[in-house]
């Protein structure tokens, strides 16, 4: 990763600041407290946000409500710009600083994320382990802290810490702690396996010794099978006896059925004879009655009227003629009325000799007398004609009445004749079946006689008595069969009950066998788990400890090699020797062959030892994490504090050997100006940091 630029607003002592970073060795110079470290903390905040040792209230400038960092960097040729903000708020009288959402820009596309999402995204870009960060939830991103930027006081804290604390700080980033985690996990697994073994043993003990019960159960099953076999014999014998009695019952039933069939035929024939005799008597009685009725009808007086009709007209034609005469009578009557009126008017006129309308005296009396004669003649003629029509009408109506009377009498005579014929037919119908019924009786009597003879009975009473005997015999046989069936069903039920008990015994036997198998499986499982637990305890734990020891030793040797190399490059005192304790990475100092504490060293020697420890730590961590993208970036905090001029002069060789593409050095001294390509001078004016780029050249 390469830092390209940063914009800072209201972060610690910085109000507004924009810096560009070259791919070179850069020096941040200036007095103590001028804001150099503020830029580096802003870089760390821009990448990862607030953390346990980088809280928001220590970053946001006092008195300001908001601040931000906008950092542009490049990874494998791809530029990114990340923007993080801080805001101050007061809630319920308490002031707090929090991070709002931020954003990251790639290829001019800006995407907003929550603070945590941004951190995870950066961890992924830098190839820092996200799972490791989530699992440990550390107060800082330790790979960045120990490979890129370690504040000077933190290096001294590591060096001055007691061995256990130091090893606790470093073992995780040096990937030594994973062995301890593995060992702890294995111990947990071992405890869990031992617990499983105890639980399995409890289950085995709870099962007991079912194999001891198997022989007893087998004896019970054998005894039960013998009882079932005995019941089977009784069932077979009972079934044979039942079959015999059923055959006897069937034989009796067949005899009974045949006898009953014949009895039905006898009863049917007997009833037939009785019914036929009753029918014959009934028909004979009806014949006598019908003959008397026929004779009575024949003796009735002759109702035929002596009507001689001199017309061939029928009633319909007569009715038509009457209608026509009535019309003519009506017409003549009307005309008669009109003539009478005319005659009356002429007579009145002649009597008064005046016209009744105009009241004038008439002068044509002779004409009116002539009209009166004509009218009277016409009236006389009309009256004769009316009289003739009336006579003809009376004759027609009389004739119609006679025709109706004739037809009515004729109909009555015809009905009487039909009644006589009907009674004769009924008489014939009653006579015909009598002979047939008598023949049927003879046939039935013959069949009755034959049936009685076949059974050597003389009468129907004897036959019916024998039928009662057969019925009793059949009922007795049914009782025998029913008793045998009940006895057989009882045997079957007893057998079924015994078989149910046998199934229960076999089920119990199977349960015992299953328990034996279960116990066997549990014992094998316990044995297998015991072997695993013993292997973990006796072999695997030892093997992991050996691997841990080997890795720790090799890491310590590698660390010690670089630690000595960097320290000896800075300090040429022959009486001072150093080494790394492989147990806890404690730097051990020998002066004149005697172990000497760190605090007794001179200022330059302490700084040299701190720088050597810091560079060795960087080298070892990067070796353990070869894929991280920050391996070409290094930030050194006051590396030459207390150095002599001779030690400072050796820094050029140190920088060349580090072979970093981008390195930022913080120093309040100007002794390193000649070794760097870019110099930023930090000053504090009016409580605000100002930065001046003094020079820029290629070394």
pLDDT in tens, 58-93: 999 998 999 999 999 999 999 999 999 999 998 888
Compute the residue count for the chain. Answer: 699
**pLDDT tens digit string along 658-673?**
889 999 999 877 778 8
Helical pair 603-624 and 152-160, crossing angle rounded to 10 deg: 90
Dist CA 409 CA 180 (whole Å): 145
With tokens 């025998």, the residue in question is 480
Beta strand residue intervals within 159-233, DSSP E? none
Pairing of strands 66-75, 2-11: antiparallel
Q: Residue 533: CB partners within 8 Å, gap ≥ 6?
A: 190, 193, 194, 197
pLDDT of residue 356: 64
Q: Is it the case that residue 135 has pLDDT exceeding 70?
A: no
Tell me, what's the pLDDT at 296? 73
Mean pLDDT on 469-496: 84
pLDDT for 302 beyond 80: no
Over 70: is that where the pLDDT of 216 sits? yes
Which has the minimum average pLDDT: 138-142, 184-188, 227-231, 365-369? Answer: 138-142
Looking at residue 698, what is its pLDDT? 43
Q: List Cα–Cα distances, 361 to 283, 343, 352, 364, 371, in angstroms.
A: 103, 19, 9, 10, 18
pLDDT-derived band at 306 (thresholds 50, 70, 90) equals very low
pLDDT at 57 over 50: yes
Tell me: pLDDT of 338 over 90.
Answer: no
Distances (CA, A) of 599 to 139, 413, 582, 638: 28, 170, 21, 18
CA distances to 369, 372, 377 from 341, in Å: 15, 11, 14
Most confident of 113-122, 184-193, 690-699: 113-122
Q: Given pLDDT bands bounded at 50, 70 and 90, which one contains residue 266?
A: low
**Mean pLDDT computed over 403-410:** 74
Q: What is the structure's pLDDT at 363?
A: 65
Is the pLDDT at 689 greater than 50? The verdict is yes
Instruction: Give the model confidence (pLDDT) of 575-616 as tens digits.
Output: 899 999 888 888 999 998 899 988 888 888 888 898 899 899
Say if residue 264's pLDDT is above 70: no
pLDDT value of residue 697: 45
Most confident of 65-69, 321-325, 352-356, 643-647: 65-69
What pLDDT was estimated at residue 699? 41
Q: For 267-277, how does the pLDDT look when each residue is reduced to its tens digit (9 = 90+)?
A: 776 777 777 77
> Which has more pLDDT, 502 or 632?
632
Mean pLDDT score, 111-132: 91
Q: Which residue has the tokens 């870009």?
A: 125
Q: What is the pTM of this model?
A: 0.55
Q: Is the pLDDT assigned to residue 463 strictly greater than 50? A: yes
User: What is the average pLDDT value for the chain, to the nearest integer?
Assistant: 83
Q: Is residue 633 very low, low, confident or very high in pLDDT (cuts 50, 70, 90)? A: very high
Burial category of 103 from C-beta neighbours within 10 Å (exposed 0-12, middle 13-18, buried 19 and up): middle
C-alpha pair distances (Å), 54 with each of 43, 46, 47, 256, 402: 12, 11, 12, 118, 149
What confidence tens digit (pLDDT) does each residue in 418-448 have? 777 776 677 677 666 777 777 877 777 777 7
Average pLDDT over residues 629-637: 92
> Which pLDDT score is estimated for 642?
81
Using alpha carbons, list the distances in angstroms from residue 34 to 43, 263, 685. Answer: 17, 142, 9
Alpha-carbon distance of 154 to 468, in angstroms, equals 128
Report the pLDDT averaged over residues 117-121.
94
Indicate the angle between helix axes 603-624 and 163-173, nearest 10 degrees.
40
Radius of gyration of the chain (CA): 74
């Amino acid at each position: 990763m390469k830092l390209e630029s940063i914009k800072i607003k209201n972060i610690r002592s910085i109000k507004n600041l924009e810096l560009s970073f070259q791919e070179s060795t850069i020096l941040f110079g200036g007095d103590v407290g001028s804001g150099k470290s503020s830029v580096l903390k802003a870089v760390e905040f821009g990448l990862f946000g607030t953390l346990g040792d980088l809280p928001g209230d220590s970053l946001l400038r006092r008195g300001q409500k908001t601040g931000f960092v906008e950092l542009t960097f490049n990874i494998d040729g791809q530029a990114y710009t990340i923007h993080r903000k801080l805001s101050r708020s007061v809630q319920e009288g308490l002031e707090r600083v929090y991070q709002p959402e931020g954003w990251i820009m790639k290829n001019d596309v800006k995407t907003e994320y929550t603070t945590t999402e941004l951190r995870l995204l950066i961890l992924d870009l830098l190839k820092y382990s996200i799972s490791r960060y989530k699992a440990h939830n550390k107060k800082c991103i330790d790979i960045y802290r120990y490979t890129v930027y370690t504040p000077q006081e933190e290096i001294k804290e590591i060096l001055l810490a007691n061995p256990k604390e130091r090893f606790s700080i470093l073992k995780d980033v040096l990937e030594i702690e994973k062995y301890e985690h593995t060992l702890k996990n294995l111990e947990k697994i071992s405890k869990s396996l031992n617990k499983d073994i105890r639980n399995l043993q409890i289950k085995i003990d709870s099962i007991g010794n079912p194999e001891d019960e198997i022989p007893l159960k087998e004896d019970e099953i054998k005894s039960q099978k013998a009882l079932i076999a005995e019941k089977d014999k009784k069932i077979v014998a009972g079934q044979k006896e039942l079959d015999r009695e059923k055959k006897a019952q069937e034989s009796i039933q067949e005899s009974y059925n045949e006898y009953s069939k014949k009895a039905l035929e006898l009863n049917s024939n007997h009833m037939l004879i009785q019914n036929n005799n009753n029918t014959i008597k009934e028909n004979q009685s009806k014949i006598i009655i019908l003959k008397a009725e026929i004779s009575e009808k024949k003796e009735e007086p002759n109702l035929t009227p002596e009507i001689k009709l001199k017309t061939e007209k029928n009633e319909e034609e007569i009715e038509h003629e009457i209608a026509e005469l009535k019309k003519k009578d009506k017409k003549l009557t009307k005309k008669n009325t009109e003539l009478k009126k005319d005659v009356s008017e002429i007579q009145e006129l002649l009597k008064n000799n005046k016209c009744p309308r105009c009241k004038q005296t008439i002068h044509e009396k002779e004409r009116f007398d002539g009209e009166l004669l004509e009218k009277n003649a016409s009236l006389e003629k009309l009256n004769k004609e009316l009289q003739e029509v009336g006579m003809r009408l009376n004759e027609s109506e009389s004739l119609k009445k006679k025709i109706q009377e004739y037809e009515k009498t004729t109909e009555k005579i015809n009905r009487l004749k039909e009644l006589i014929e009907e009674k004769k037919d009924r008489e014939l119908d009653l006579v015909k079946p009598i002979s047939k019924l008598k023949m049927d009786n003879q046939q039935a009597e013959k069949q009755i006689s034959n049936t009685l003879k076949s059974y050597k009975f003389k009468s129907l009473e004897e036959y019916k008595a024998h039928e009662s005997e057969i019925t009793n015999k059949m009922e007795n046989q049914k009782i025998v069969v029913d008793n045998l069936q009940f006895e057989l069903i009882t045997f079957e039920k007893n057998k079924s009950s015994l078989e149910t008990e046998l199934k229960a015994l076999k089920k119990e036997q199977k349960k015992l066998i299953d328990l034996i198998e279960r116990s066997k499986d549990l014992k094998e499982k316990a044995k297998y788990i015991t072997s695993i637990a013993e292997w973990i305890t006796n072999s695997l734990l030892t093997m992991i400890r050996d691997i841990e020891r080997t890795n720790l030793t090799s890491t310590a040797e590698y660390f010690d090699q670089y630690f000595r190399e960097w320290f000896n490059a800075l300090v040429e005192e022959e009486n001072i020797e150093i080494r790394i304790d492989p147990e806890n990475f404690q730097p051990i100092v020998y002066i004149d062959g005697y172990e000497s504490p760190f605090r007794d060293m001179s200022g330059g020697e302490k700084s040299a030892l701190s720088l050597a420890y810091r560079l060795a730590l960087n080298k070892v961590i990067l070796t353990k994490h070869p894929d991280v993208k920050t391996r070409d970036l290094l930030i050194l905090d006051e590396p030459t504090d207390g150095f002599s001029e001779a030690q400072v002069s050796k820094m050029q060789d140190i920088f060349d050997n580090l072979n970093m593409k981008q390195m930022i050095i913080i120093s309040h001294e100007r002794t390193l100006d000649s070794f760097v390509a870019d110099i930023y001078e930090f000053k504090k004016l009016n409580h605000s940091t100002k930065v001046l780029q003094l020079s820029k050249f290629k070394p």
